[in-house]
Structure 1
Amino acid sequence: MTMASNRLSTVTILLALLGAVLPGAFARVIYVDDDAPGANNGNSWLNAYRYLQDALAVAAPGDEIRVGQGTYKPNLASVPVPADRSATFLLRQSVRLLGGFAGYGPSPSWPSDDRDPNVYKSILSGDRSGNDWALDPADHTAVGLLLTDSTRQDNCYNVVTATSVDSTCVLDGFVIIGGIANGITAKRGGGILCTQASPVVRNCTITGCAAAERGAAIYINNGRPDLTSCTIVGNYASERGGAMYNLAAEPNILRCTFADNLVAQQGRGGAIANEDSNSVITSSIFQKNYGGSEGGAIHNLRSRPIITNCTFIENSTRLSGGAIENSNDTRATISRCSFIANTTGQAGGAVSNWAGTSRISHCIFVGNRSNDEAGAVYVSRSEPNIINCLFNGNNAATYGGAISCSESSLNVINCTFSANAAVGGKAVACSSTSPPETSSRLVIANSILWDGGSEIYNNDGSNIKVTYSDVQSWWPGTGNVSSNPMFTDRDGPDNTLGNQDDVLSLSASSPCIDAGDNTVLPLDLLSDLAGKARRFDDPATADSGNGQPPIVDMGVYEFGSQAPGQNPPVANAGPDRTVTEDGTGYATVQLDGSGSYDPDGDTITYTWTWTIGSQTYTASGVRPTIQLPVGVHNIQLVVFDGTLYSSPDTVRITVQTAGGQPPVANAGPDRTVVADGTGYATVQLDGSGSYDPEGSPLTYSWTWTVGAQVYHASGVQPIIQLPVGTHTIYLTVFDGVLYSSPDTVRITVQAAANQPPVANAGPDRTVTAGAGGYATVQ
Structure 2
Amino acid sequence: MKNVAFGQVLRLFLIAILSFGAGPSRATQAQGSSVIYYVDADATGDNDGSSWAHAYTNLQTALGVATSGDEIWVAAGTYKPTTGTDRTATFQLKNGVALYGGFAGTEISRDQRDWEANVTILSGDIGVEGNAGDNSYHVVTGSGTDATAVLDGFTVTGGNANVGDTVNTVGGGMYNLDGSPTLTNVTFSSNFAINNGGGMYNLSSSPTLTNVTFSGNSSSSLGGGMGNDGSSPMLTDATFNRNFAIQGGGMFNGSYSSPILTNVTFHGNAVPNNGGGMYNSNSNPTLTDVIFIGNTASGGSARYGGGMFNHNSNPTLTNVTFSSNSADDAGGGMYNFDGSNPTVTNSIFWGNIAPAGSQIYNDSSTPTVTYSLVQDGYAGSGNISDNPQFVRDPSPGADGTWGTADDDYGDLRLQPISPAIDAGDNTAVPADTADLDGDGNTDELIPFCLAGFPRFANVLSRADTGNGSAPIVDMGAYETAPYLTPNKNADEDTPYPGQRITYTLVINNSGLVSATNALISDTLPSGLTFAGPVMLYPPQPGAMLAQNAGDLPTLVSGLTITVGVCITLTFPVTVDSGLARGTVILNTAAVTSTEVVTPQTGMASITVSNTLPSFYAYLPLVFKNYVSAPDLAHESGMLPFQ
For Structure 1 versus Structure 2, the TM-score category normalised by the shorter chain is: 0.5 to 0.7
Equivalent-residue separation in structure 2 for 1:186 and 1:395 (angstroms): 38
1:370 to 300, 305, 327: 327
Query: Offset at 1:50?
Result: 3.0
Closer, same or farther in 2 for the Cα pair 1:168/1:83, shift >3 Å? same
Query: Offset at 1:73?
Result: 3.3
Tell whether the 8 Å contact from 1:400 to 1:427 is kept in structure 2 after alignment.
no
Letter in 2 for 1:315: N
Does residue 75 of structure 2 align to residue 73 of structure 1? no
Closer, same or farther in 2 for the Cα pair 1:606/1:598, shift >3 Å? farther
Tell whether the 8 Å contact from 2:158 to 2:173 is kept in structure 1 after alignment.
no
Closer, same or farther in 2 for the Cα pair 1:130/1:391, shift >3 Å? same
Equivalent-residue separation in structure 2 for 1:160 and 1:503 (angstroms): 40
Does residue 288 of structure 2 align to residue 335 of structure 1? yes
Closer, same or farther in 2 for the Cα pair 1:163/1:353, shift >3 Å? closer
Give CA-to-partner distance per residue, 1:313-370, whole Å, 9 cap, x none.
2222222222122222x22222322222222132222122221222223222222222
2:382 corresponds to: 446
Query: Offset at 1:250?
Result: 1.6
2:229 corresponds to: 275
Letter in 2 for 1:248: S
Closer, same or farther in 2 for the Cα pair 1:536/1:217, shift >3 Å? same
Closer, same or farther in 2 for the Cα pair 1:564/1:605, shift >3 Å? farther
Equivalent-residue separation in structure 2 for 1:121 and 1:167 (angstroms): 24
Query: Offset at 1:287?
Result: 1.9
Give CA-to-partner distance per residue, 1:499-552, whole Å, 9 cap, x none.
867968778xx9x999x9x9xx7954699999558999999xxxxxxxxxxxx8
Supply the RMSD in Å over aligned alpha carbons.
4.8
Closer, same or farther in 2 for the Cα pair 1:174/1:636, shift >3 Å? farther
2:507 corresponds to: 620
Give CA-to-partner distance per residue, 1:637-681, whole Å, 9 cap, x none.
99866433469899xxxxxxxxxxxxxxxxxxxxxxxxxxxxxxx
1:231 corresponds to: 187
Equivalent-residue separation in structure 2 for 1:280 and 1:112 (angstroms): 25
1:61 corresponds to: 68
Closer, same or farther in 2 for the Cα pair 1:494/1:500, shift >3 Å? closer
Letter in 2 for 1:444: G
Where do residues 431-470 of structure 1 align in structure 2 (5 Å cutoff)?
A: 443-449=379-385
Tell whether the 8 Å contact from 2:178 to 2:204 is kept in structure 1 after alignment.
yes
Q: Name stretches of at least 5 consecutive residues in structure 1 with no aligned partner.
A: 1-21, 77-81, 133-150, 189-212, 419-425, 429-442, 451-486, 540-551, 567-596, 627-634, 651-778
Tell whether the 8 Å contact from 2:271 to 2:297 is kept in structure 1 after alignment.
yes
2:214 to 246, 258, 265: 258
Closer, same or farther in 2 for the Cα pair 1:639/1:174, shift >3 Å? farther
Equivalent-residue separation in structure 2 for 1:314 and 1:371 (angstroms): 15
Where do residues 341-356 of structure 1 align in structure 2 (5 Å cutoff)?
A: 341-345=294-298, 346-356=303-313
1:215 to 148, 171, 180: 171
Letter in 2 for 1:312: F
Give CA-to-partner distance per residue, 1:365-398, whole Å, 9 cap, x none.
222222112221212222222222222222221x
1:98 corresponds to: 100
Equivalent-residue separation in structure 2 for 1:104 and 1:130 (angstroms): 32
Which secondary structure state, in structure 2, belongs to the residue aligned with residue 448 of structure 1? coil
Larger radius of gyration: 1
Which has the bigger relative contact order, CA under 8 A and spacing at least 6? 2
Query: Offset at 1:402?
Result: 1.3
Give CA-to-partner distance per residue, 1:423-479, whole Å, 9 cap, x none.
xxx556xxxxxxxxxxxxxx53332345xxxxxxxxxxxxxxxxxxxxxxxxxxxxx
2:274 corresponds to: 320
Letter in 2 for 1:173: G
Closer, same or farther in 2 for the Cα pair 1:494/1:275, shift >3 Å? closer
Where do residues 1-400 of structure 1 align in structure 2 (5 Å cutoff)?
A: 25-76=32-83, 84-103=86-105, 115-129=113-127, 131-132=129-130, 151-182=131-162, 187-188=167-168, 213-264=169-220, 267-292=221-246, 294-301=247-254, 302-328=256-282, 330-345=283-298, 346-380=303-337, 381-397=339-355, 399-400=356-357
Closer, same or farther in 2 for the Cα pair 1:247/1:229, shift >3 Å? same
Letter in 1 for 2:353: N
Equivalent-residue separation in structure 2 for 1:121 and 1:86 (angstroms): 25
Letter in 1 for 2:219: V
Letter in 1 for 2:508: G
Give CA-to-partner distance per residue, 1:702-755, whole Å, 9 cap, x none.
xxxxxxxxxxxxxxxxxxxxxxxxxxxxxxxxxxxxxxxxxxxxxxxxxxxxxx
Where do residues 263-662 of structure 1 align in structure 2 (5 Å cutoff)?
A: 263-264=219-220, 267-292=221-246, 294-301=247-254, 302-328=256-282, 330-345=283-298, 346-380=303-337, 381-397=339-355, 399-418=356-375, 426-427=376-377, 443-449=379-385, 524=428, 531=455, 553=465, 563=471, 600-609=479-488, 614=494, 619-621=506-508, 642-645=596-599
Equivalent-residue separation in structure 1 for 2:145 and 2:216 (angstroms): 30
Tell whether the 8 Å contact from 2:349 to 2:359 is kept in structure 1 after alignment.
yes
Query: Offset at 1:183?
Result: 5.2
Equivalent-residue separation in structure 2 for 1:599 and 1:84 (angstroms): 47
Tell whether the 8 Å contact from 1:365 to 1:376 is kept in structure 2 after alignment.
yes
Equivalent-residue separation in structure 2 for 1:23 and 1:493 (angstroms): 49
**% identical equivalent positions:** 31
Letter in 2 for 1:384: P
Report how many aligned residue pairs link the two structures.
453
Tell whether the 8 Å contact from 1:23 to 1:61 is kept in structure 2 after alignment.
no
Letter in 2 for 1:396: A
Query: Offset at 1:185?
Result: 8.1
Tell whether the 8 Å contact from 1:534 to 1:558 is kept in structure 2 after alignment.
no
Closer, same or farther in 2 for the Cα pair 1:163/1:640, shift >3 Å? farther
Letter in 1 for 2:485: Y
Closer, same or farther in 2 for the Cα pair 1:123/1:241, shift >3 Å? closer
2:405 corresponds to: none
Give CA-to-partner distance per residue, 1:40-67, whole Å, 9 cap, x none.
3332332333333333333333333323
Letter in 2 for 1:311: T
Equivalent-residue separation in structure 2 for 1:35 and 1:49 (angstroms): 9
Equivalent-residue separation in structure 2 for 1:379 and 1:278 (angstroms): 21
Closer, same or farther in 2 for the Cα pair 1:94/1:333, shift >3 Å? closer
Normalising by structure 2, we get a TM-score of: 0.59
Normalising by structure 1, we get a TM-score of: 0.50
Closer, same or farther in 2 for the Cα pair 1:637/1:494, shift >3 Å? farther
Which secondary structure state, in structure 2, belongs to the residue aligned with residue 55 of structure 1? helix
